[in-house]
Structure 1
Amino acid sequence: MKILVLGATGRVGSHIVSLALRDGHHVTALVRSPSKIETIDKNLHISHGNVLNQEDLELVMSEVDIVISALNTDGTNTLTESMLLILETMKKANVKRIITVGTAGILQSRLTSHLLRYQSSESKRKSTYAAEEHHKVFEMLRHSDVDWTIVCPTYLPDGEYTGIYRIERNYLPEGGTKISVADTAEFTYQQIRNTEYLKSRVGIAY
């Protein structure tokens, strides 16, 4: 399979790249700083570019089966601005599947069912900026014609891979307070062959 990984130099993205290469997939990583990727593998193509540049996206999207985005908000609107371009470029290239890493804040609230967690008293975070950006991405995907899945982890310590965690469609598993980067990456990567959570948000926690 030919996989485009966006956010490949980040904590979750770098794990996803390693998992895909381990299984023999062809991986393209579009990155602003190629020097941050130390992995050398015949199946890894590192493309120097920016997700905010449509020409860069078109170049790497031309022969791709699936897109995995582990981009974060980095305090700007990069997440939402890039998703507009990603979806447009996917349509041009006839790429139908995208898996993104979001945040538990955009899952439904158990306390106030018509709100998302970040909009309700269920969330303890003082700043809602990141959740608002991920919410906009969720709406873009929801109104698109691609087959999307948003993996929504709660607090993300580095931690070790355990393979033992709970998942729930559209909600954070009850009592969930954290999930490691490694387990989040592994579940996200699994979705390349899983159709159970198409057009769904998935909460993940221990």
Structure 2
Amino acid sequence: MKIAVFGATGRVGSRVVNKATEENIEVNALVRDRARAQEMIPNAHLIEGNAKNPEDVEATIQGCDIVFSGLGTDKTTTLSQAVRAMIQSMNKYKVDRIITIGTAGILNSRVEEGSYRFQTSESKRRQTFAAEEHLFVFGALTGSNLSWTILCPTYLPDGEAAGRIRHEVNYLPVDGKKITVGDTAQFAFEEIKESRFPRSRVGLSE
């Protein structure tokens, strides 16, 4: 297996990369700062570039078997621009699996049928830009022929994997308040290896 990783120096992405390389799984990682990346993910094959650049995205995906994206929104449209390029390159090179980290805001609401959590009182966030970017990813992947999984953690504090992971397809587990970065990365890595939730959003909490 060879994994193309975007957001490889992020909190979840860096842990996923290091878990993979510890198991001798090859990783192509698109990074903006090679020197910083070499310190954080020393055993990945680094491709310096920008996720908004389709050529850089293509160079990262070429020769890989699966894509993992831990890209965040960072108050920009990087995420929505990148996912377009990912889908295009995946189709070109016949790579059919992608796992991404989303947000619990794009899960189904329990209180308002037909709405997303970020649109209802279930969400504590008043700003919706990030959720709308992740919703674009959901729509783009749903409209593709790819086998996709969007992992949707709730509040994501730093912390090691403790194994306290609850999950539910399309919804946030009842009374879910948080899940550590470590547990989220562990769940993501297991999904990369096992493909348990094809074409699904999966809510994560402890």
Q: TM-score, normalised by structure 1?
A: 0.97
Unaligned runs of 5+ in 2: none
CA distance in 2, matches of 1:78, 1:195: 26
Give the 3 Å change call, closer, same or farther, for CA 91–127 of structure 1 in structure 2. same
SS of residue matched to 2:100: strand
CA distance in 2, matches of 1:141, 1:35: 32
2:42 aligned residue: 40
1:200 aligned residue: 200
* Deviation sequence 1:112-144 (CA, Å, 0-9, x none): 121000011111111111001101110000110
CA distance in 1, matches of 2:72, 2:195: 24
* Deviation sequence 1:17-50 (CA, Å, 0-9, x none): 1110111100111011112221333xx2011011
CA distance in 2, matches of 1:40, 1:107: 35
CA distance in 2, matches of 1:113, 1:36: 45
After TM superposition, what 4+ stretches of structure 1 lie above 4 angstroms from structure 2? none
CA distance in 2, matches of 1:194, 1:40: 25
CA distance in 1, matches of 2:59, 2:79: 20
CA distance in 2, matches of 1:87, 1:198: 16
CA distance in 1, matches of 2:7, 2:174: 29
CA distance in 2, matches of 1:32, 1:116: 33
Report percent identity of matched pairs: 50
Q: Which amino acid aligns with 2:67?
A: V
1:3 aligned residue: 3
CA distance in 2, matches of 1:40, 1:122: 40
1:99 aligned residue: 99
CA distance in 2, matches of 1:28, 1:156: 25
| 1:51-66 map, 5 Å | 51-66=51-66
2:21 aligned residue: 21
Unaligned runs of 5+ in 1: none
CA distance in 2, matches of 1:172, 1:127: 19
Q: Which amino acid aligns with 1:40?
A: P
Q: Which amino acid aligns with 1:75?
A: K
- Deviation, 1:195, is 2.8
1:111 aligned residue: 111
